[in-house]
Amino acid sequence: MPAETLQTPVALFDKCRQFTRAREIQAAGLYPYFKPISESEDTVVVIEGQKRIMLGSNNYLGLTHHPRVLEAATAALHRYGSGCTGSRFLNGSLDLHEQLEAALATFLGKESCIVFSTGYGANLGLISGLVGRGETVYLDKLDHACIVDGAKLSHGETVRFNHGDLVGLARKLEANTTGKGMMIAVDGVYSMEGDIADIPELVRIAKKFGAALAVDDAHALGVLGPNGEGTGAHFGMQSEVDIIAGTFSKSLASVGGFVAADESVIHFLKHHSRPFIFTASLPPANTAGVLAALEVLQAEPERRDSLWTNARRLQQGFTSLGFDIGPTETPIVPVLIGPLETTFVFWRKLYDAGVFTNPVVPPAVPPSQCRLRTSVMATHTADQIDFALEAFGRIGKELGVI
C-alpha cells in the first residue's frame, strides 16, 4: 500500500496567514482593540498603568460598582456556587432565574420572560426559535449582528430594508404573498448611531400586515421610557410591541439577556430555542446582580436624570466644538472623523491624553464614515466630561477634523 502523501500547510489556514491588516496597525502603534483593564473605578479605568476616563462603556447607569449589586452577587456566589454546570432545560434552573424572569416581565409589562446566558444569545434564540420554514423576518440594515445571525440560523427567509426606511419596509411586506408568519426585528436604539427606532410607525405597519414586532432594547433599557422600561415605553406604546429582547451587560451591569412576550411565546421558546436549550444557564452571581440592579434602576430614578444631563452636556460640547455627531438622540454619541487612518491616530492621541473611546471602522461603517463612538454614564462628573471635550477639541484641531 503506497504511503500517504501529506500536504502542508493546511489550505484552510491560508486566509489566516494572509490576514495582515491588524498586525500592520499594531506595528504602527495604533491598534485600539483588546486593551486589558487592570483596575476599574467606574468612570475611570487603569490600562497599561495609566488612569483613563472611560468614555466607551455601556454601563449607562453606573451600576457595576453599586454596593447592592456587589453584595447580591457575592451572597449568591456563596449560596449557589460559581456556576450552574448545566442548561436551564435540565439541571441548571435556579429559583433566582425564575425570580428574575418574573421581575423583568412585571417591569416590562409582559406576561412572561425567558433569561438567556448572553444578550447575543437572546436574539439568536428568539429569531431562530420562532421564525420557521416558509416564514420571513424583516431586518433593518443597521440591526445588531446578533439579530442578523439569529435570522441566518432560522429556517425562514431574511429580507433587509434600508435603515429607518419604513416606507420601503411596508412595500416589502406588501409583496409577501406567502400567507406565512412574518416578524419585524429592529434595534430600539442603534448602537453605532445613537438614534431611536420609530416605534409608532413600526407598530402601525406591523399591525397592517399581520407581522410580529420584536424590538431589541439592549441600549434602551434603563435609558428610555418613564421608568427606564425601554423604547416602547418611550413612545407610550409598550403594550403594542409584541416582543422585547435585551441584555444585562449595559444598564443592568452584568452579563446575560432576556426575551419578554406573551406567555405562549415564551413557553414555545423554552422548548424550541436551541441557543437556550443547549447553553449553560446564567451563573448565580450574575443573576443575583441583575436582580439587584433592576431594583436599583427603579429605586434610584435620579441616576437616569444624571445620565441624560451628562448626555446633553457631551452632545452640546461636541457640537459647539464643530464635530459632526450624526443623528444621535441618546447617551451614545458618535464623533464622525472620516478616513480610517485619521480615526486610528485620533483614537491613539485621545488614549495617550487619558480618554478611552471606541473607534468604529469598516465593515461596521463605510470607509469614509469612520468614527469614534463615545457614551456617557450617570456617574461621570462634569469635570470628567469637560476634560474629555477639551482633549477632543485640541486633537480635532491638530488633525484638521474641525
Give the catalytic positions in this structure: 191, 219, 250
Q: How far is 127 from 168, CA to CA, in rounded Å?
A: 22
Q: How far is 261 from 185, CA to CA, in rounded Å?
A: 14
Close Cβ partners of 93 (under 8 Å, ≥ 6 residues apart): 84, 281
Are 173 and 207 spatial neighbours (Cβ–Cβ below 8 Å)? no
Q: How far is 104 from 183, CA to CA, in rounded Å?
A: 23
Cell numbers linked to 317: 460640547
Give the amino acid at 255. Answer: V
Close Cβ partners of 129 (under 8 Å, ≥ 6 residues apart): 154, 268, 269, 272, 273, 274, 275, 276
Are 340 and 367 spatial neighbours (Cβ–Cβ below 8 Å)? yes
Close Cβ partners of 61 (under 8 Å, ≥ 6 residues apart): 222, 251, 253, 293, 296, 297, 303, 304, 307, 377, 378
Give the amino acid at 127. Answer: I
